[in-house]
Amino acid sequence: MKSSIHSLDPDQTKGEPPFYKAPAALLDLDAHITQPPAETWYMSARGDSMIQLGIYEGDLLVVNTLLEATHGDLVIVSLDGEKLCKVLDLHFHRLLSGNDSSAAIPLNDLASFTIEGVVTHSLRYHRDRSPLLARRANSL
């Protein structure tokens, strides 16, 4: 049996924003991010093409293969056999990166293009896998 999660009373926090606190055993993350389980898979982000959208090297992407992609969705596409994470721009028929240094990819020029799924969540590792720390360590 799962226990409920209660927010702190704002009057008890003395000006601090309320937050949620519960032991990890009481919170089923699968129920929040992996729905439906059979249609959800994970992939690790590579490169810097999505950094302006808050997705960095090594982040874990949660991908739902059942959802129909709509304009503005973050999607995983298969392009000539390579899996890419891009923003779907249906108004101008293109794929966009979350990095100004990456050019848009026109959809009409794509010979082999498939939308594999919609990214519903991204999870960041803050310990031992931080891209910023890795870059700083390499520059020392």
Write down the catalytic residue from 49, 97, 102, 112: 49
Q: Could you tell me the two tokens for 82?
A: 């390579």
- Beta strand 74-79 with 60-64 is unpaired
DSSP letter at 7 equals B
Q: Which residues of 27-63 are buried (b: 16+ CB within 10 A; e: fewer)?
A: eeeeeebbeeeeebeebebeebbbbebebbbebbbbb
14 given a catalytic annotation: no
Do residues 76 and 119 touch, judged by C-beta distance below 8 A?
A: yes
- CA distance linking residue 132 with residue 102, whole number of Å: 20
Write down the catalytic residue from 2, 4, 7, 86: 86
What are the backbone angles phi and psi of residue 28, rounded to the nearest 5°? -95, 95
Write out the catalytic residue numbers: 49, 86
